[in-house]
Amino acid sequence: KAAYKKSKAIHLKSDIDSIYTSTEKAARWYKVSVKSSKKQSKLKILTVADQGGFKFTIYERGKKKPVKTVKTSAKHLEKTVKLPKKKGAYYVKVTKLTSKTTGAYYLGTYTY
């Protein structure tokens, strides 16, 4: 299950695993809600790609300029991204770095 438009973004209430094939070209969208400005929310990214890599761009709702951008390479990679301590909705856009990229990614959110 994937959302190819920002308006139909899948809400990240729990963890999501997804596979990207070389035939897919469109970006995928996910939505993350930050409920408190007192607690830190984090986005966990784990990727496994045969070749190429993935690009994760995080946008604040209503803004065109990205808050953060994370690129991953072909090797097995794990990153944790701190979301801003500001209540609201954030969108995560997942794209392939090269047209030949095939692989899987995992997205998860947690607050502490």
d(CA 109, CA 35) in angstroms, rounded, equals 12
Note the pLDDT of residue 93: 95
DSSP string of 66-112?
EEEEEEE-SS-EEEEEEPPSSSEEEEEEEEESSTT-EEEEEEEEEE-
Note the pLDDT of residue 29: 95
pLDDT by residue, tens only, the chain of 112 residues: 688 999 999 998 878 888 888 888 899 999 999 998 899 999 999 998 888 889 999 999 999 999 999 998 877 688 999 999 999 999 999 999 888 888 899 999 988 8
Confirm if 41 and 89 have CB atoms less than 8 A apart: no
pTM (2 d.p.): 0.91
